């Protein structure tokens, strides 16, 4: 009799356990969504990271983060086409805080522009809605202010394939001194000639008196898009490319890596942000990634490096 009761108890336990299992809801798996920005740029301001890039059809978006890992998209565009020259192709924005104002350098309809705002969220507006250089295609403008306070603008011209030039700016940070226009680099290394003739997306940092330019080569559509480096002792002098370029190309599972910008994180460490293709079969939508960068001694000279290990920023849930 005891054995019968024991077996009955076991059967009832199994039935009850099965019912509980059937009532348990299925777990929902949330795959993290990468930050969909191409030509990305990150600014640290007032202990908050702001990211801008190419994505929206009608202007420039802005995202914020406290830790470079999770990002939130602002509800409004930082720059809307109504406040800018051009109706399309809003590319490669960079934002700088100078003398109490925020300056956004960007491209619209393949012309370089600059807009101003009182907040990193915008709204950024062009005082005069026209390109910085009229009558000529130019893209990818990047501001650099030297130790003596002189401002310079690096950008791409279409007069030898796509190549990188520099010019000094007036004190208003918006007007190019055309008499100072100077060529920097053009396609000249074998790795750059996969497809087509492109040197673009310059970004400048200064370290121990040397100017370091990161740039991208090959079309953004190429899986061999990569990041190289050139150096100079004089902004208007000769820029010399590293013979072992590229510094970054196809790291890990990424392809189409390029159009980078550098920034210091909250710890003061140098970081580089760049974009890559969606995967090895699809270019779009591109997403942004972050890696560490720095300088190391090679034959007694400081050489820039970019780590191949990268982080994938994602949208906060």
Spatial contact of 113 and 122, defined as CB atoms under 8 Å apart: no
Q: Which of 134, 200, 221, 311 is catalytic?
A: 200
State the SS3 of 236-284: CCCCEECCCCCCECCCCCCCCCEEEEEEECCCCCEEEEEEECCCCCCCC
Q: How far is CA 185 from CA 26, 87, 206, in A?
A: 57, 30, 17
C-alpha of 110 from chain center? 18
Strands (E), 118-268: 138-145, 151-157, 163-168, 182-185, 199-207, 210-217, 226-232, 240-241, 258-264
Decide if 39 is catalytic.
Answer: yes
Spatial contact of 275 and 259, defined as CB atoms under 8 Å apart: yes
Decide if 234 is catalytic.
Answer: no
195 is written with which tokens? 């497809």
Give the closest residue to 271 by CA, choosing from 295, 293, 249, 304. 293
Omega before 123 within 30 of 0, i.e. cis = yes
Give the whole-angstrom CA distance, residue 144 versus residue 207.
13
Q: Which of 27, 39, 109, 308 is catalytic?
A: 39
Q: How far is CA 125 from CA 28, 62, 78, 145, 280, in A?
A: 43, 15, 9, 22, 38
- Give the position of tokens 């024991």: 6
Spatial contact of 66 and 48, defined as CB atoms under 8 Å apart: yes
Q: List strands edge to edge, sheet with 199-207.
A: 199-207, 210-217, 226-232, 240-241
**Which sequence positions are flagged as catalytic?**
39, 200
């Amino acid at each position: 009799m005891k054995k019968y009761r024991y077996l009955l108890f076991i059967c009832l336990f199994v039935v009850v356990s099965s019912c509980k299992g059937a009532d348990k809801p299925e777990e929902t798996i949330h795959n993290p969504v990468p930050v969909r920005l191409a030509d990305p740029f990150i600014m640290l301001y007032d202990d908050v990271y702001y990211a801008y890039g190419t994505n929206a059809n009608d202007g420039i978006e802005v995202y914020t983060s406290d830790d470079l890992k999770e990002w939130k998209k602002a509800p409004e565009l930082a720059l809307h086409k109504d406040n800018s020259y051009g109706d399309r192709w809003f590319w490669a924005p960079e934002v700088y805080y100078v003398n109490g104002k925020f300056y956004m350098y960007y491209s619209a309809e393949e012309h370089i522009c600059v807009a101003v705002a009182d907040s990193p969220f915008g709204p950024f507006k062009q005082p005069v809605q026209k390109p910085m250089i009229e009558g000529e295609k130019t893209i990818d403008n990047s501001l650099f202010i030297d130790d003596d306070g002189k401002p310079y603008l690096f950008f791409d011209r279409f007069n030898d394939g796509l190549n990188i030039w520099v010019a000094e700016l007036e004190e208003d940070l918006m007007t190019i001194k055309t008499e100072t226009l100077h060529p920097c680099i053009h396609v000249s290394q074998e790795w750059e000639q996969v497809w087509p003739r492109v040197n673009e997306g310059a970004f400048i940092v200064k370290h121990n008196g040397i100017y370091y330019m990161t740039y991208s080569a090959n079309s953004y559509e190429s899986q061999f898009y990569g990041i190289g480096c050139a150096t100079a002792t004089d902004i208007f002098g000769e820029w010399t490319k590293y013979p072992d370029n590229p510094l970054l190309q196809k790291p890990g599972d990424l392809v189409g890596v390029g159009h980078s910008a550098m920034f210091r994180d909250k710890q003061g460490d140098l970081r580089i942000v760049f974009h890559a293709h969606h995967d090895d079969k699809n270019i779009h939508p591109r997403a942004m990634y972050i890696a560490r960068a720095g300088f190391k001694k090679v034959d007694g000279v400081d050489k820039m490096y970019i780590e191949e290990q990268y982080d994938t920023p994602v949208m906060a849930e």
